Every structure is written in structure tokens, then in C-alpha cells.
């Protein structure tokens, strides 16, 4: 198992060959656990929620992943945006 902080996700995605199918990515990152501000989740479980079948670039994959991450996964626990 590899633990990867959410802000280090780009490095893990850059190591893949593109274009990559969803199945390719799942096979390559099966050992990655994302570390969130409030917990963790296996990256393959996040990929299960992504609808795109193919990713042309690391940015494509990252954007798709970010769109399906739980809101609580980003930021500090208890942090609120828009105050102040």
C-alpha cells in the first residue's frame, strides 16, 4: 500500500502512461490510498465514481478525480470558506 496525500496526487498520476483507460489506471494505482484532511480512501474506489472511460493526459484524470471527491476531503477539518 502507498499512502498519498491529496496534494501529492499529481506526482502519482504523472507516472502513468497516457492515454490511459479507466482499467489501466485502476491496475496501476490499486495500491494507492489517498490521505484526506479528514480520513482516507482507496484511489480505486474514487475511480469507480468517475464516468470517463479514457484519460488523454494526467490533467484529464486529475480533473475527473477531483470532481468526484467528497467535499470533506479537501482543506483542514472544520475549515470554512467564505468567512472573514
Q: What is the pLDDT of residues 10-69, one digit of tens each?
A: 988 988 999 999 999 999 988 999 998 888 999 999 999 999 999 999 999 999 999 999
Q: How far is Cα 72 from Cα 39, in angstroms, rounded to an integer?
A: 9
Domain ranges of the chain: 2-70
Please report where in the chains the cell 474514487 appears, as a residue: 46
pTM over 0.85: no
Burial readout 40-74 (b: 16 or more C-beta within 10 A, e: otherwise): eeebbebbeebeeeebeebebbbebbeeebeeebe
Amino acid at each position: 500500500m502507498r499512502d498519498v496525500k491529496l496534494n501529492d496526487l499529481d506526482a502519482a498520476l504523472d507516472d502513468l502512461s497516457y492515454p490511459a483507460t479507466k482499467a489501466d489506471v485502476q491496475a496501476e494505482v490499486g495500491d494507492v490510498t489517498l490521505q484526506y484532511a479528514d480520513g482516507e480512501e482507496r484511489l480505486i474506489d474514487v475511480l469507480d465514481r468517475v464516468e470517463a472511460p479514457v484519460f488523454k493526459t494526467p490533467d484529464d484524470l486529475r480533473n475527473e478525480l477531483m470532481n468526484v471527491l467528497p467535499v470533506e476531503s479537501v482543506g483542514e477539518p472544520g475549515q470554512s470558506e467564505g468567512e472573514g
